[in-house]
Structure 1
Amino acid sequence: MIPRYESAELAAIFSDRRRMQLWRDVELAVVRAMTDAGELKSSEVAPLFTHEVEIDDDFVARVLAREAVTNHDLAAFVDVLQADYDTPAARFIHFGLTSSDIVDTALSLQIVAAMELLLDGVDHLLATLRSQSLRYRRTAMLGRTHGMAAEPTTFGAKLALWTLALDRERTRLVRAREQIAVGKLSGAVGTYSNIAPALEATALSSLGLDPAPATQVIGRDRHAEVIMALASTAAMIESCALEIRHLARSEVMEVQEPFAPGQKGSSAMPHKRNPILSERLCGMARLARGFVVPALEDISLWHERDISHSSVERMMVPDAFQLVFYMVTRFDRLVADLVVHEESMARNLANTHGLIYSQSLLLAMVRTGLDRDEAYRIVQEATTRVLAGEGELGDLLTKDERCPLPALMIEELTSIDRLLANLDPLFGRLTTLEGSRWNSNS
């Protein structure tokens, strides 16, 4: 990931140094499990635990230099690690294991750590969305379908729906984390020919993972589920960012992205305040979606394994997490600091000249016994006159002799409060979301 969008915390999780630290931890977890099971003598392997080899930048450099000779990263790592221990006990490092035992188990640990960081960001974003939705729950605005004026809604209702959508994405992320929180230490083709299942379970438990039935590699459907959950979260944020872009258009001007002192919206036109962050989020979602197909293609490997997935995952997994984490944290700031022009929302409602009440008036006519098609035609003709600039919908229908509704009823029906009276259950959902940690912290 380029530094412009990179999180230092995620970069550390997916760094060579952290990866090799986890490789060491997995190797030692197996030695410890073998010792606990009585397969190795404590006195014989004690030097591996009394003197822990530090995985620092120098260690990483020596592994990379060794890899230039072995053309095998894990084999190079084992060579350097055993040499640094400089004890006969080091011969039990990588005893009975294959490379994927270490690599796949460590990758699972990296993904779990990255997912925890991402979920913390999602929880914070959920709290921000919930707070803003309650703040604007009564702020009436024009609802739009097909880009055209429809009926009123509230900006808070829009944000509440975003909150509920993000909570669904959180559920998907949690499930993906659960599916990837596994390791395998079952040997060359997953048959436990040298490592017993009980020993695998003990070693993995010490690392916080569950055993996964596997060939030589963990099934890549688990990794694909992670990538798909990330892409779905990105798409959800994109849908919100796209809405902000539409609402920020000059002729709409209902919201604006925050604009800092000294910021320039255009190199040529000083008046511009472009929705650049929302546009950036939409673009980044395209990249996140782009990882889905490679992740799905990684599922199909030859026989018990090949390494066609390896090069893909080295780039795909870190970059997918970096992209979505960036999107979550930046969208959080955008929502928190969003400029909401309530007066523009009210003006745009008023500029419909009552068209937003067409359905209410239609249904009221039908209730009087008027044929629906006839009622529809009466209202539609009146709306055509409104669009031609001839007046307000309610006034035109009041004067229409074919309209069976009394003037007082028309006045009552053309009320925004009446149309928005049933939104409270939507906001009630924000406090009853099942299983959301963020709910108790906000």
Structure 2
Amino acid sequence: MNSTVFDSSLFRDLFGTPEMRAVFDDDAYVDTVVRVEVELARAQARIGVIPGWAADAIAASCDPARLDRERLRVATGTVGYPILPIITQLAEQCGDAGGYLHWGATTQDIMDTTTVLQCAEGLALISDALDRLREHLRHLARTHSGTVTAGRTHLQHALPITFGYRVAVWLSALDRHADRLAAARQRNLMVQFGGAAGTLASLGPGRDGLRVRAALAEQLGLRDPEITWHVARDGFAEIVGLLAAIGASIGKIGTDVAILCSTEFGELAEPFVPGRGASSTMPQKRNPISSELMIAAAKLLRDKSSAMLDAMVQDFERATGPWHVEWAIIPETFLLLSSSLGQAVDTMAHLHVDADRMRANLGLTSGLIAAEAVMMALAPILGRQRAHELVYAACARVLDSGSDLASELCGQPDITASLEPDRIRRLCDPTGYLGSAQVMARAVAQPPPNRFR
């Protein structure tokens, strides 16, 4: 029976992707556990800790497809962990060589290494999707670097910007996340092999344990850590926290898009697909469903990061409970972000941008959006404070009378003594007060290696 949005046949593609579910499903988990056990035996034979024939037999005999899954399920519920039940069945498959299976390891070694390998695969999917999203945003930023629209602060018109500038701001955060993601993958994808208390005592007093760990890391394509990290969970916390931060940045994009899709704005529309975002009662509705899912994922991811920080607080050399939190949090985090990225990629690939509506909306405040332009032109002549007072008073009259800013300014002798009416009208044109918006948008829209060159 499916009971959560992550496994529900109705909701699961709204809160995850098939590709990411395949990374974290039961079959993939068991397959990876078996892979780790086989590679551990190979590494130990390579170092001389177990006989070569035993490692060969383990590699030839261990077959996850032959495991009795119902027996595993029942035994896992009894033991509290899946590793011993898996090892029990694998040892039966291996005959005499089964006595060398899981040599010197502890349950957490295998579970942690399995989770790291899943994270490695999941992070590759996240990185690919993030790259696709960034490429779509680069295209939008380049295309609309000169498309003038209203910049908004506190949900009110502030100054004119370009839509390409807004997109480039979104993109800049994701570019930094891509850098963080690369660093996090290099830093945190570490093998785990320490034995019962992390000291590798079961492999003797010398360096054989460390050699086995290094060989296992090499064979699995993971980093060999400096010391056992059974209770140092900063690596997983960083991964989950980073995925949550990426989700929050995408949630910001979803928030902007959803608001700009509203009837009163009408500046954007999500790609049209028949039935997408439809209402059960209002035939005219095209709700921004992708943006809504991006926002929802961001909110859920925040709690995943919080839980992982809590799970870092562990006791002594093996935790009594916090470790189990990760079993739920890590897969759900990857699923949520994969969904959010997928929704964002699809939306940005075919986002409808209404430049005419953007230009029309610039006029909603009758020129007030250009008030700073006039103030800054007066400031060198009258001083900034006096200029601010005069323009502020003119803005108040526009709001009271329904006139426009240029007319109010041109009717004030204190202002026309410093600025000619033609200059005032040019200053009230929002397309002439963009600062460095276009330059910055085009710079960010370049492929990262060429930025600002």
Gaps in structure 1 of 5+ consecutive residues: 437-442
2:45 partner amino acid: T
Task: Determine if the alignment matches structure 1 residue 378 to structure 2 residue 390.
Answer: yes
Equivalent AA in structure 1 for residue 257 of structure 2:
I
1:170-218 residue CA offsets vs partner (Å, 9 max, x unmatched): 2232333223210121211111212321221011111011222445715
Q: Which moved more, 1:274-283 or 1:129-138?
A: 274-283
- 1:116 maps to which residue? 124
CA apart distance, 1:76: 1.0
Supply the distance in 2 between the matched residues of 1:434 and 1:52 (Cα, whole angstroms): 49
Task: Give the structure 1 partner of residue 444 of structure 2.
Answer: 429
Q: What is the aligned partner in structure 2 of residue 31 from structure 1? A: 41
- Answering whether residue 136 of structure 2 is matched by residue 128 of structure 1, we say yes
1:75 equivalent in alignment to 2:84: yes
Q: Find 1:388's aligned residue among 376, 397, 400.
A: 400
Structure 1 residue 61 and structure 2 residue 90: aligned? no
Shift of 1:128: 0.7
Residue number in structure 1 paired with 2:173: 165
Deviation at 1:308, TM superposition (A): 1.0
User: How far apart, in 2, do the equivalents of 1:71 and 1:351 lie?
Assistant: 63
Paired with 1:179 and 1:435, the residues of 2 have a C-alpha distance of 26
Distance 1:435 1:7, change over 3 A: farther
Residue pairs, 1:121-270, within 5 angstroms:
121-195=129-203, 196-215=209-228, 217=230, 219-263=232-276, 265-270=278-283
- 2:357 is equivalent to residue 344 of structure 1: yes
Query: Aligned partners of 2:61 and 2:162: how far apart in 1?
Result: 60
Give, as a single letter, the amino acid of the residue that structure 1 aligns with 2:90.
L
2:417 pairs with 1:409: no
Cα deviation per residue 1:375-407 (whole Å; 9 max; x = unaligned)?
Answer: 222211211222234432122212211112112
Q: CA deviation at 1:263?
A: 4.6
How far did residue 363 of structure 1 move?
1.4
Q: Which runs of 5+ in 2 are unaligned?
A: 1-5, 204-208
How many residues are treated as equivalent by the alignment? 433
SS at match of 1:211: coil
In 2, distance between residues paired with 1:97 and 1:9? 31
CA distance in 2, matches of 1:330, 1:274: 14
CA distance in 2, matches of 1:207, 1:367: 67
C-alpha contact 2:379 2:385 (8 A) present in aligned 1: no
**1:404-436 superposed Cα distances (whole Å, 9 cap, x missing partner):** 211232233233343125321332133252599
Equivalent residue number for residue 418 of structure 1: 432
Measure how far apart 1:343 and its partner are: 1.5
User: Which AA in structure 2 matches 1:200?
Assistant: R
Aligned to 2:3: none
Alignment of 1:84 onto 2:85: no
The 3 A distance-change label for structure 1 pair 85 and 424 is same
91 and 428 in structure 1: CA distance in 2 versus 1, 3 angstrom threshold: same
Q: How far apart, CA to CA, are the structure 2 residues paired with 1:101 and 1:159? A: 44
Which residue identity lines up with residue 380 of structure 2 in the other structure?
R
Contact 2:240 2:304 in 1 (8 A): yes
Counterparts in 2 of 1:279 and 1:355: CA distance versus 1, 3 Å: same
Indicate conservation of the 8 Å contact 1:17/1:60, yes or no.
no
What is residue 51 of structure 2 aligned with on the other side? 41
Q: What TM-score, normalized by structure 2, do the two folds share?
A: 0.89
Q: Which amino acid aligns with 1:433?
A: P
Other-structure match for 2:295: 282
Counterpart AA for 2:46: D
Give the TM-score taking structure 1 as reference length.
Answer: 0.92
Q: Which moved more, 1:320-329 or 1:300-309?
A: 300-309
1:415 maps to amino acid: D
What amino acid is the match of 1:211?
D
Is contact 2:267–2:358 with CA below 8 Å preserved after alignment?
yes
Hey, what's the Cα distance between the residues in 1 that align with 2:277 and 2:219?
Answer: 53
Contact 1:216 1:304 (8 Å CA) reproduced = no
